[in-house]
Amino acid sequence: MIVTVLQHSVYGGPGVIGDQLRTRGVDLDVRHVYADDPVPVRPPEALMVMGGRMCTDEKAAYPFLQEEADLLAKCVAQDTPTLAICLGAQLLAEVTGGSVHHDTPEIGFAKVRLTDAGRDDPLLADFADGTPTFNAHQDFITAGPGAIVLAEGDRSPVHALRAGRRVYGIQFHPEMDAERVARYCNADQPGAYLRRHGWEPRDLIALAQEHTDAHARMGRELADLWLDRIVMPVVG
């Protein structure tokens, strides 16, 4: 089977989740949409939509965002197995009747806790409350009537949501480990972004190194659960 991945930057790939899916024998069709790779018109077998520096209200500057929103709406309608992360989750929130607003960024490792719905969810039921999760976002989700909130945090009222049975949005970054956080922090645009908001990249890298084993394990476990409980029952 093939999971289609929409990637928005050179440092924003499928990461730990992608590595685990490949280990399980899954092929990844990675579309570098920032470099003009096409966004699928129809839902693929399974879809991942990654994070990025652009915001959902920048569709005029980044036309592929509207194409992705259209694709996500079709995935919701068809209940296509989907895992949308950060920017992807924000696009999903909008197409399900929610909204996204800018605020003071949430950067670092935020503790995430499940809602009652999250504790009954096949993907997140085993997620431990209080798990520190990597974040670097300035956009925050308000869920609409077309989505169920599965996880929340002190800063973010929505850290995970689900539309239908198989379309998930996750605000934090389960795909990241210390190596990938360092790659993000050392890139020019993210490095400048971090400094504007009070973080030296080296400090965030050091913090990521403290959390990397547990965080990467969480990402691998999430990949396995997504594949076993969400994707394979449909794709086979």
pLDDT of residue 202: 95
Domain total of the chain: 1
pLDDT of residue 216: 97
Q: What are phi and psi of 44, to 5 degrees?
A: -80, -170
Say if CB 78 and CB 53 are below 8 A apart.
Answer: no
pLDDT of residue 189: 87
pLDDT tens-digit profile, the chain (236 residues): 999 999 999 999 999 999 999 999 999 999 999 999 999 999 999 999 999 999 999 999 999 999 999 999 999 999 999 999 999 999 999 999 999 999 999 999 999 999 999 999 999 999 999 999 999 999 999 999 999 999 999 999 999 999 999 999 999 999 999 999 999 999 888 889 999 999 999 999 999 999 999 999 999 999 999 999 999 999 87
**Could you tell me the CATH number of the domain that includes residue 161?**
3.40.50.880
Beta bridge partner(s), residue 167? 82, 163
Residue-number span of the structural domain to which 228 is assigned: 2-235
Taking the C-alpha atoms of residue 48 and residue 3, their distance in angstroms, rounded to an integer, is: 7
pLDDT of residue 223: 98
pLDDT of residue 118: 98
Write down how long the chain is.
236
Give the distance from CA 112 to its chain's centroid.
14
